[in-house]
Amino acid sequence: MTQVDIAGLTKRYGGTLALDGVALQARDGELVSLLGPSGCGKTTTLRCIAGFLTPDGGEIRVDGQDIVALPPQKRDFGVVFQNYALFPHLTVFQNVAYGLQVRRIAPAEQQKRVAEALALVRLTGLESRLPRALSGGQQQRVALARALVIRPRLLLLDEPLANLDARLRDEVRWLIREVQQQAGITAFYVTHDQAEAMALSDRVAVMKGGRVVQFATPREIYQRPAEAYVARFTGEANMLPARPAQRLAEGLWRVAIGETVLEVPGATTLAEGASALLMLRPEALSLAPTGVPARVLAAAFLGASQQCDVALADGTRLRLQASPHLAVAPGDAVHLAVDAAHAWLMPDIAP
Ligand SMILES: Nc1ncnc2c1ncn2[C@@H]1O[C@H](COP(=O)(O)OP(=O)(O)OP(=O)(O)O)[C@@H](O)[C@H]1O
Ligand SMILES: [Mg+2]
């Protein structure tokens, strides 16, 4: 049972404010990703949780207890970094057993727990290998076993797949999720890869300049981003300046794109008449016999779909995902159907 509550976390490196009031939670057994571009404070947040860095302010509560003053070795957290950091001169067994030796666990118990951990990450049989005789994916699985063998209260992973090629990344990613769920371990996972964060996480904290700008499920951050920054960071998005003309109900707005009036869901933080942005993901737009008139600028056949760039009468450019069965070519006059239920209206906040 491990529940984490982080509030008002700040950290300064000289003149740089790296963390500016980070707030985050993880429920028992939850995997929470920290997602954001380079330099937004993901690693700094994780290192504060691990205890390798002391924050300048804020609190980190684990099951109600503030751990900021607790040294890292007393936190009982398992940590996995991007660059495996295995001991090169120790075998796989010795690498995994290391944390148990430090904790003075009896040798027979060490044997048993190392065997269990290696079975979890599917490395049984490689106990006597040295790290240099392992592939990158295998080394990263040893690092995962080493973090798990101590039965950590919390698992912390900082871009653990960054050094792996695409195929291995996929394999180790699913293994991490499977092991984390099987063992029911609460985990924080740092990544700048939105697909990875969406596929793995129960909840995602999207970070921007040392702050968490949205903390929600993958579905929520993709379909209902709090601001344009989140929308763009979580996938392709057309953004149209809009002025919500009328509030129809809580979270439902009437907006116009040119001559076409739409009823779309939107953030509750919007104010009537204030400037807003209408997000239309490419899959919320399609080519139709009638609808918003547009002209095709470019079309690319992708097999399962067709990526199509179009311009509206006023010059606005949109990207849409069209059926691969339609023949479209640059210059064609077309009409767009808008799936208004999957559009999203959000406040216009500077990126
Ligand atoms: N030891 C340090 N000294 C000075 N500034 C630092 C130090 N470590 C990090 N920073 C700065 O703090 C900010 C946050 O860095 P952090 O490493 O947390 O980012 P990140 O989100 O993990 O980025 P990346 O995706 O590149 O790993 C950046 O502006 C970075 O330059
Ligand atoms: Mg980092």
Q: Are residues 248 and 190 in the same domain?
A: no
Pocket-forming residues, ligand 1, beta carbon under 6 Å: 13, 16, 18, 36, 38-44, 192
Give the Cα separation of 11 and 351 in Å (integer): 22
Q: What pLDDT is attached to residue 113?
A: 95
Considering only CA atoms, which residue is closest to atom 6 of ligand 1? Answer: 13
Q: Which of 228, 246, 273 is the last residue of a domain?
A: 228
CA of 197 to the centre of ligand 2 (A): 14
Q: What pLDDT is attached to residue 349?
A: 83
**Nearest ligand to the C-alpha of residue 44?**
1
CA of 208 to the centre of ligand 1 (A): 12
Q: What pLDDT is attached to residue 69?
A: 95
Q: Is 151 left (phi over 0), alpha (psi -120 to 50) or beta?
A: left
297-315 pLDDT tens trace: 999 999 998 999 999 998 9
Q: Are residues 155 and 300 in the same domain?
A: no
Residue 220 has pLDDT above 70, yes or no: yes
Q: Are residues 309 and 250 in the same domain?
A: yes
Instruction: Specify the number of domains making up the chain.
Output: 2
Q: Are residues 48 and 90 in the same domain?
A: yes
CA of 92 to the centre of ligand 1 (A): 31
Considering only CA atoms, which residue is closest to atom 26 of ligand 1? Answer: 38
Q: Which domain holds residue 284?
A: 237-347
Q: Are residues 224 and 326 in the same domain?
A: no
Q: Which of 55-64, 166-175, 280-289 has the lowest mean pLDDT?
A: 166-175
Residue 245 has pLDDT above 70, yes or no: no
Task: Indicate which CATH number applies to the domain containing 196.
Answer: 3.40.50.300
Residue with tokens 């379909």: 223
**Nearest ligand to the C-alpha of residue 22?**
1
Closest among 312, 205, 206 to 259, alpha carbons compared: 312
User: What's the Rg (C-alpha) of the chain?
Assistant: 24
Give the Cα separation of 70 and 178 in Å (integer): 30
Q: Are residues 124 and 206 in the same domain?
A: yes
130-147 pLDDT tens trace: 999 998 889 989 999 999
Considering only CA atoms, which residue is closest to atom 31 of ligand 1? Answer: 39
Give the whole-number percent of the chain exceeding pLDDT 90.
Answer: 76
Give the Cα separation of 184 and 203 in Å (integer): 15
CA of 298 to the centre of ligand 1 (A): 39
Give the whole-number percent of the chain exceeding pLDDT 70.
Answer: 99
Residue 214 DSSP symbol? E
Q: Are residues 160 and 257 in the same domain?
A: no
Q: Are residues 299 and 181 in the same domain?
A: no
Letter string b/e over residues 258-283, b meaning 16 or more CB atoms within 10 A of that residue's CB = eeeebebbbbeebeeeeebbbbbbbe
Q: Which of 206, 228, 250 is the last residue of a domain?
A: 228
Q: Which of 179, 210, 228 is the last residue of a domain?
A: 228
Q: Are residues 51 and 23 in the same domain?
A: yes
Q: Which of 56-70, 196-210, 251-265, 335-349 has the lowest mean pLDDT?
A: 251-265
Q: Are residues 208 and 245 in the same domain?
A: no
Q: Are residues 70 and 193 in the same domain?
A: yes
More confident residue, 136 or 94: 94
CA distances from 281 to 92, 190, 203, 291, 338 (A): 46, 25, 21, 17, 10
Task: Indicate which CATH number applies to the domain containing 337.
Answer: 2.40.50.140
Mutate-to-test residue for ligand 1 from 43, 157, 158, 206, highest number of ligand atoms within 8 A of CB:
43
Give the Cα separation of 162 and 173 in Å (integer): 11
78-90 pLDDT tens trace: 999 877 689 999 9
Considering only CA atoms, which residue is closest to atom 17 of ligand 1? Answer: 43
Q: Are residues 221 and 307 in the same domain?
A: no
